[in-house]
Amino acid sequence: MFADPENRTKVKICGLTTLEDARFSSGALADFLGFIFYPDSPRYIEPAKAGAIINWIEGPDKVGVFVNQPLDDVNSIARQTGVDLVQLHGNESPEYCELVEKPVIKAFHITPDKSEADLKEEIEAYADIADYYLFDSKTDRLWGGTGKAFNWQILKGITDEKPFFLSGGLNTHNISEAIKTVKPFAVDLSSGLEESPGLKDFDKIEAFFEEMRGIWEEQEL
C-alpha cells in the first residue's frame, strides 16, 4: 500500500516533447508533466504541439517552463497550451512573477559557491509571490537539465519555508537518498530518464517508479 497521495513525495517528469512519452509518464504515476518553452533548450517544444499533447492527457498537472522570456509571451503561451502552472527557470524578478497569470514555480540555481545564507536571502523576496520553489543545479551552458546534482545539505535549513521541487541530476540510483535528505514536496527529473535530450527512455522510467514505489511504501509506515 502506498502513502496517501496527499502525503507522498510527488514526481514531475520534465522536458517532454512527444505524446508517447507524456502518456507513458502519466501512466507511470507522474504527478506533473513539464514542457519547456525556452527556445534555446535542447528539450524545447513548440507551444502548438504541447497544447495538442496536453489536450490528450488527463490526470497530472501540466507545467510550462520558461527562462527570462517576455512576460506577455509567458502568459500568452500558458493560455494557449492550457498548462496548469508556470515554472520560471531564469532570473525573473519578484515583480515579474507577480504578473504571471498562472500559479508560479520559481526556480533557484545552486552553484558550488552559494551558501545557505545566500540562498535564504535570495528566496525571501519571493516568499509571498511564488506558489512553489524549485532548486536545481546550473552550468555555464544550461539553465537546467544538466544531469548534475548539487550538495543537498544547503536545503536543510530552508525546507520549511514553502513546498519545493528538488531537481538536478536525480535518477533511480540517488533518489532515495535525496528524498531522505531534504524531504521535498516533489522531485523533478529530466535527463535522468532520457535516451537523448527530449526523448524519454521507458525502461529508465519504469525502473525509477519501481524505486519510488518502495519509497512510497516506506512513507506509509
What is the DSSP code (8-state) at residue 153? G
Out of 21, 31, 136, 188, pick the active-site residue: 136
φ/ψ region of 202 (left if φ > 0, alpha if ψ in -120 to 50, else beta) reads alpha
- The helix/strand/coil state of 2 is coil
Task: Please state at what angle helix 175-182 crosses helix 202-220, rounded to 10 degrees.
Answer: 40
Cell numbers of 52, please?
A: 495538442
Query: Does the active-site annotation cover 97?
Result: no
The maximal CA–CA distance of the chain, rounded, in angstroms, is 46
Of 198, 207, 203, 136, residue with least CA distance to 176: 207
Cell numbers of 138, please?
A: 546550473
Query: Does the active-site annotation cover 14?
Result: yes
Out of 14, 21, 31, 97, pick the active-site residue: 14
Active site residues: 14, 136
